[in-house]
Amino acid sequence: MIFQTTKEFATQLDREDPLREYRTRFHIPHRDEKVVIYFCGNSLGLMPKTTKEYLNKELDIWKRDGVLGNHSRWEPYHEHVTEATARLVGADPTEVVVMNALTVNIHLLLVSFYQPTEEKYKIIIEKGAFPSDQYAVESQIKFHGLDPDSALVILEPRTGERCLRTEDIVNKLKEHGDTVSTILIGGVNYNTGQAFDMAKITETGQEHGAKVGFDLAHAVGNLPLNLHEWGVDFAAWCSYKYLCAGPGSPGGIFIHERHGNWNGPRFNGWWGHDKDTRFNMSPDFIPIKGAEGWQISNAPIFGLACLRSSMDIINHIGISALRAKSEKLTAYMEYLLVQLNNSLDIITPSDPAQRGCQLSVVMKNSGKQVFEKLKEKNVICDWREPDVIRLAPKPLYNSFSEVYEFVEILRSIQQDR
């Protein structure tokens, strides 16, 4: 599509947007009685207007029924989002379950899928992975009595580049090949916004006998995923970013069906026990087949209620429609930013296949000051040290006119400096 730089063109794009009415289904933040431009959905998605209704329903049941709500409603409550979650990540329903927080789930998955031997003991991650991932991986390595200096392999971009090239990732996997036990990479890098070729990484890693997993915190609800078809061994994600389930909401995991009858290492808990006999309170653990067998504790109902409200909206739209608007919205932002006289660099790949809806921008002068000025002018985005402003025009509720207005604000900030 050929974009234009006028306000009228942005208004036209909004008129033609098939998802424009969904913006009205979310609470848009205000500051000083003015609506903010919210490009921070890659950190915390906005609240659906139905969330309070979903949450209040469960509060009312607790108020009215107390413990009786467990067996009448809450015991299988997580199953309300199973089908929609499976569609979103490209999985069979038995391969997914919503539970816990992201890093907790990464640890639980690594207990199973990082089993180092004398020959195969390395874990591969990308440089600039979300710090919690690196903390988790390093602690797992130490837990097995190994040294991260020798067991942790970090994929680094070429000198002078910010993003990884797929061929370099593949070559590094082949280089370490038979010594690699596990690969854990972000589906989308939180800092650069680069989306990785998960199918190719999975194929290459498994050719060398490695277990391949992904942290999908910035990919779920942002990109179309086909975890089952790609043959991914395991994955984990949160729900408070692109899934708009609210702060601290429960994440989810994927376990490929070939691991469904798992008899290897796993931390067991009673909610992973066979549902038909769970309340017999037997001392012998009988795991549920599939991803649900990795559950430990019963589900956080109030967090799940919030997730259910947002998943109903996302499921109604479908990831294909979200992705179509995302590509157009992000490309439009990129086009307008490029017009700003070489005052910034966009470090996120320009190829739509290598990014979601996030653009990471480095200002050539005084980036932190620019970020603070944006905040003063009611633009909510995100700063990551040492020099990155992250912008996420989200197809669920952001408009083309907001993108235009943001770039004009940024232009005015530059002219005033």
Burial class (CB in 10 A: 0-12, 13-18, 19+), 416: exposed
- pLDDT one-digit tens code per residue, 69-121: 998 899 999 999 999 999 999 999 999 999 999 999 999 999 999 999 999 99
- pLDDT one-digit tens code per residue, 313-359: 999 999 999 999 999 999 999 999 999 978 899 999 999 999 999 99
Regarding pTM above 0.85, the answer is yes
The answer to whether the beta carbons of residues 270 and 250 sit under 8 Å apart is no
CATH of domain 7-47+319-416: 3.90.1150.10
Residues of the chain with CATH 3.90.1150.10: 7-47+319-416
- pLDDT one-digit tens code per residue, 276-291: 999 999 999 999 999 9
Question: Which fold would CATH assign to domain 54-315?
Answer: Aspartate Aminotransferase; domain 2 (3.40.640)
Residues of the chain with CATH 3.40.640.10: 54-315
The answer to whether the beta carbons of residues 204 and 171 sit under 8 Å apart is no
- pLDDT one-digit tens code per residue, 227-253: 999 999 999 999 999 999 999 999 999
Calculate helix-pair angle for 400-416, 319-338, nearest 10 degrees. Answer: 20
